[in-house]
Structure formats: structure tokens, C-alpha cells
A and B are shown apart, each in its own frame.
Chain A
Amino acid sequence: MTETEIRHMIADILGNIVPEADLSTVSDEEDLREALDIDSMDFLNFVVALHLRAGIDIPEIDYPRLRTLKGAIAYVQQAPTKAK
């Protein structure tokens, strides 16, 4: 996936969890939990959806790497895609 595709996918996932949020106001480095007023359950739902949509494994130990847009994009780019 290209970076643009990943961005769209992440925006789509977040749109299901925090539909009221305006993602254009969120910088790549901001902690999504604060920028979007999402709690730990929302964040967990975000990680689960990312795992399903991107077809990648995300062990719990890596969750902190997904806290920013930049981190999440980089994580998806680097992760080996699971065999379908």
C-alpha cells in the first residue's frame, strides 16, 4: 500500500470510531488519543480494525507505536502482510 492509501484507510477506520472528529486538524505527530478525544477502548477498536483492514499482525507490545498518524502509517508500511 502507498502512504496515501494507508492514510485513507486510517481516516476511514477513525471515521467509524470518532465520526465527529476533523482529521484535517490533526498533525502527524500528535497523540491521537488526545487530539481526537478517544479513550482506551476507542484506541483498542482502532488497533483491531487496523489489524483486520491492513491484514497485519499487531502484537500488544507494539500498540504504543500506533499512537500517532505518523507512527501508524510507518507501522503498516513496514509490517509483513499476512498470507491471504
Chain B
Amino acid sequence: MAMANASIIKDVARFSRRPNLVDYHAVCAAFDWRKARALLDGLPGGRGLNIAHEAVDRHAQGRLAGRVALRWIGKAGERREFSYRDLAAETSRFANALTGLGVGPGDRIFTLLGRVPELYIAVLGTLKTKAVAAPLFSAFGPEPVATRMQLGEARVLVTTEALYRRKVAALRDRLPTLRHVILIDGGEKLPGTVRWHELMDAAGADFTIPATAPEDMALLHITSGTTGRPKGAIHVHEAVVTHHVTGLYALDLHDDDIFWCTADPGWVTGTSYGIIAPLTHGISNLVVEAEFDAQTWYSILAAERVSVWYTAPTAIRMMMKLGADAVRGYELGALRFMASVGEPLNPEGVLWGIEAFGRPFHDNWWQTETGGIMIANYAALPVKPGSMGLPLPGIEAAIVQRRPDGSVAVVEEPMVEGELALKAGWPSMMRGYLHEEERYRKCFVGPWYLTGDLAKRDAEGYFWFVGRADDVIKSSGHLIGPFEVESALMEHPAVAEAGVIGKPDPMAGEIVKAFVALKPGYTASEPLRKELLGHARKRLGAAVAPKEIDFRANLPKTRSGKIMRRLLKARELGLPEGDLSSLESDEK
């Protein structure tokens, strides 16, 4: 049982670097977002606040101009480095190129790229022009890509020739707002595309960021809900205040750090912490293109002298499977702080950090809508393995319960389960779901933003994750909406009904599992199961498609015809079925 684990106590006096947050209560008491804003420069001449200026230009104009901003390691081990000066020039070129294409403030610039330097240049260059950056995960299949670009009204897409051919070209007629497709590589010129290199070569390396209001839209992260289509969480330039402060306190970034966030920028962690936070701190940000491989990761940690490492539970569990002995022999003396996010890190994972690396993994909690880390375990503070930790300075978190009249009551008693809520108003809070005002408003009750996560708080203020209040699936740290998967399955002529759940998995946290009822005339069979699996994978991509499909003659439904995913899940797990009063048509 997680609670039975003793806290991990730190001896700060023996730390090589004094952590940025030592006296938690004093820092929280003195914290003020206006003062935090003063840690950033603002645009010269009082012209506002722009993420790209804080992350790149201000360093390029100062003592850090020659420091490595981005160190990229490619799949074949090749390297590219960009100093802050280089990165300022490249992002300015991209900003000029966009401007030359007639793209400007508010336009949405999507990327569909692996972790290559062009992704980072495109996102930061986009922010310079006051256009809006929307990075997509390159393992999405054509359907999630098209759905997200439609929702975000993509004006420009930056991608590779291979990804364009496989995932976009055939669906382009569904994307009427898409004016420009910029290919970063490729041989022959494809119709309807322009070349990155031609644009960049013709563009100047000087660009003056226009006046930017802190409330101007900067980032669009498209995330999954439990019902309906994905939703576009809007973040504004002011979010950079949270990115910076959380880098300081939750990731304990220091001036000479080498930082590695293993997340892909197609997910919010890979943007807020894989791009922005390390750069606002003026440190060197390591980008690794290859997918997870434990031995490769250890050699990178050693060779690059990574000092702060931000990774995810699935990777940690895979490393655990390989065993702590595999870490021996790597010189990891530079590694000072390790953090994890994506789904709750089990206590064994936290403790395995000590066995393998001599220090615990520090779990933290946040979500796309919060824009930055909200609750964390800190370098200097005791870690309770299995706990999300304590709220960041400036963040007020509570456990609430919904009352029948729609209002919420704050639960003061320790260890009582309720919904995790955050007092609205921090800088990186989402400012809306694009074109979905009603859906956005539903996230707030009174002063509280309701997270949809169920949690408890103990007597010392540490939060403990319990589960989701809805049906969204967390697989390998990726948020997957069951509706999107069900819709893709329903497109197959054999499928009458589909219900999709997250099935607990020791590695991934959850895997996507689908239950399917067939139309008359179709018979459940192994070949049909494979056909459905292939159908879903082609449309959705490996990251979203189900890993398991089971046939049913009928799925459990409510009177209104809604499939009861909860019941499917309870039965899959052998759990109590709970309240069945709304069940109209049962499973067969």
C-alpha cells in the first residue's frame, strides 16, 4: 500500500547545489504572480510579453548569446547545436518566412514532425510573429491529424515529405483553411507544398517581435475529452510566467544545467518543458530524436552530462524491467534532479530511482489545460512515494465535492476523496477551448477550475491521485479520448457498436481496449478481429489505436443509447458493477 511507505527525507546541506525552493511555506506565503513576472524581461520598450523573446531573443542579446540553447542528437547519433544567437537567427528567419507567406497574428501554424530542430525553430518562430503554434504528435494517424487541423483551422502545416504523403495528402480536401504546407525534406517537389530550405534561405535573420499583449493567443494544444471530438485548449503568451516559475521551483533549474525532457512536443509536456521552460532559464536543452531505449538513454545521460532529467512513468517502468544493474558503469555524476510526469508514478518507481541513480524520481501533476506543473515533489522537500506532492507556490489546490445544485464544497478533512480543483487565475491556465465556450465554462464552478481528476489530500497537504472522474484513457502518458477510437471503429462496415476503455497495464498504465458488436451478417472471427485492428491503426496511428479488441453480441447501454464504458471496464477488471439503474440494454 502506497501510504505505508516512509517519506524520503533529503539532507539539503549535503546537496551540490542549493535547491531553489527550500522553505516551502515561506516561499508560498511570499509568492505573488506579479513579482514572478519580474523574473522575465518583457519586450523592449514596454511592448508586452512574448514567449519567444523570453526564451530566445533576450538571451541572444546578452551574456548567454554563445551558450548552447539546443543540442540535438539524431537517430543515427548525429548532432546539431544551436547557440542562443543561432536560435534567434533561425527563428527570425522562420518568422520572416511566415510573414512572407502572408501569415500573421492569430493564424494557426501546425507542426507534424518528429523531434527535429525544425520543429523547435518553427514553434518559436511562429510565436515571434504572434501566430499560434499547434504541435501535433507525429505518431498520430491520418484521422487524428485531420480532426485536429480542422478543429484548429490550420493555416500552415510544417511536416516531412513522408508524413505528408502518408497522413495528410489524401485528406487535404478536408482542410479548406490550409494554405501552405512546408516540407522540411524530400526530393521532388510535391504539388501544393513549399520547401523549408527555399523559404529559409530567402528570409532574413532579423525580425522584430511586434508588440504582444500577455493575453494574446500563443499555443493551441488539442486534447481529448471523454465525449465528443477533441478540444483545442488555448494558451496565451502570459503562460511563460508559469513555465519559468515551475522550471525554477518544480524542476529546480540552475544557470549551468543541461536539461533533458524526454516528452514529445506533440504533447503539452514536450512544449512547456521540452521547448519553453529550459530556454527561458537560458540553459542548454537536450533534444533526442530516437524513441525510448534504456541503454541508449543511459549513455546519453552520461555523455551529455545531463543534470536535470524530466521523464515519464512508462519509460521508468521499462528501465525497471531491465534492472538497476544496467545503469552501473555509466558515469552519471552530473545528474542532480529527476522528475516524472504523465500518469501517477507508482511508489516502486520512485524508490527504484534511488536504487538505480541514487536519487528518487520526483513525480508531479498537471494537464494540458493547466499549461504547466501545478503539484510537485520538490528537490529539497520530503517525497512521499506515490504522492503527487504539494501545490506550486502561487497555486491553490483543493479537494471538492459537487453539490446537487451544481456548486462545489471544499473538503477540509484529510484523505477524503473528491475532485481535484485549482483556484482559477494562474498565468498558464487555458483561456478557452477554441470555439467551444460552453465546454470551457463547464470546467469552472465559482472560483475553481475542476480538473476531472479524483484525488485526496493528506494532513500534511500532499495530494494523492485516485483516478479520473471521466472515461479518458492515459496510455504511456498520452491522453486518449474513447470517442475518437469508437468513431474510427464505427466507420468499418462490420461494426454496429463500439465501446472503448482503458485497461490497466503494468507498463503503459493503461492500454486502449475496444469492445465491438457486429452488424447482422457479420460473424466474429480472428481474421475480422485483425481486420478491425488494422483498420483502426491505419486511421488512428499506433499511439491511439486499440491494442485489444473483443467481440460482444451487444454492448451495455443506457436508455438514451449511450454505451456504458464504466460497466464494460468494471466487468473487464472483475470489479463491482455499481449503480445499474440507468442500464437499459445489457451486454451479451
* Chain A contact residues, CB within 8 Å of chain B: 15-16, 18-21, 33, 37-42, 44-45, 60-61, 64
Contacts and interface: CB of A to CB of B under 8 A. Distances in A.
B547 A19 contact: no
Contact of A45 (B292, B326, B547): B547
Interface stretch (B205-213, B219-227, B250-258, B529-537): B529-537
Interface string B440-484: 000000000000000000000000000000000001100000000
A64 B299 CA distance: 14
B20 to A, nearest CB: 33
25 contacts: A18-B534, A19-B534, A20-B535, A20-B538, A33-B291, A37-B139, A37-B537, A39-B542, A40-B292, A40-B318, A41-B476, A41-B505, A41-B507, A41-B508, A41-B511, A41-B547, A42-B542, A42-B547, A44-B507, A60-B294, A60-B321, A60-B323, A61-B322, A61-B326, A64-B295
Size band of the interface chain B makes with A: 20 to 34
Contacts of B295: 61, 64
B298 to A, nearest CB: 12
A37 B541 contact: yes
Given A18-B537, A20-B534, A20-B535, A38 B542 contact: yes
A16 B529 CA distance: 9
Given A39-B542, A41-B507, A60-B322, 7 more contacts: A18-B534, A20-B533, A33-B291, A37-B542, A38-B542, A44-B507, A60-B323
B308 interface: no
A15 B542 contact: no
A33 to B, nearest CB: 6
B307 interface: no
Contacts of A64: 293, 295
A47 B572 CA distance: 25
Contacts of A19: 530-531, 533-534, 537
A74 B150 CA distance: 46
Interface string B319-335: 00111001000000000
Nearest to B319: A60
B547 A20 contact: no
Given A44-B507, A60-B321, A60-B323, A39 B139 contact: yes
B530 A16 contact: yes
- Top 10 closest A-B pairs, CB basis? A20-B534, A19-B534, A19-B530, A39-B542, A60-B322, A20-B538, A20-B537, A19-B533, A60-B321, A37-B542
A37 B531 CA distance: 17
B234 interface: no
Contacts of A20: 533-535, 537-538
Nearest to B533: A19
B546 to A, nearest CB: 11
A40 B476 contact: yes
A41 B543 CA distance: 9
Contacts of B505: 41
B314 interface: yes
Contacts of B538: 20
B234 to A, nearest CB: 29
Interface string B512-544: 000000000000000000110111011001110
A37 B291 CA distance: 12
A33 B139 CA distance: 11
Contacts of B541: 37
Contacts of B537: 18-20, 37
Interface string B177-217: 00000000000000000000000000000000000000000
Nearest to B535: A20
Contacts of A38: 542
- Of B475, B538, B542, chain A has the most CB atoms within 10 Å of the CB of B542
A79 B514 CA distance: 36
Contacts of B321: 60
A23 to B, nearest CB: 13
A84 to B, nearest CB: 25
Contacts of A15: 530
Nearest to B296: A64
B543 A39 contact: yes
Contacts of A16: 530
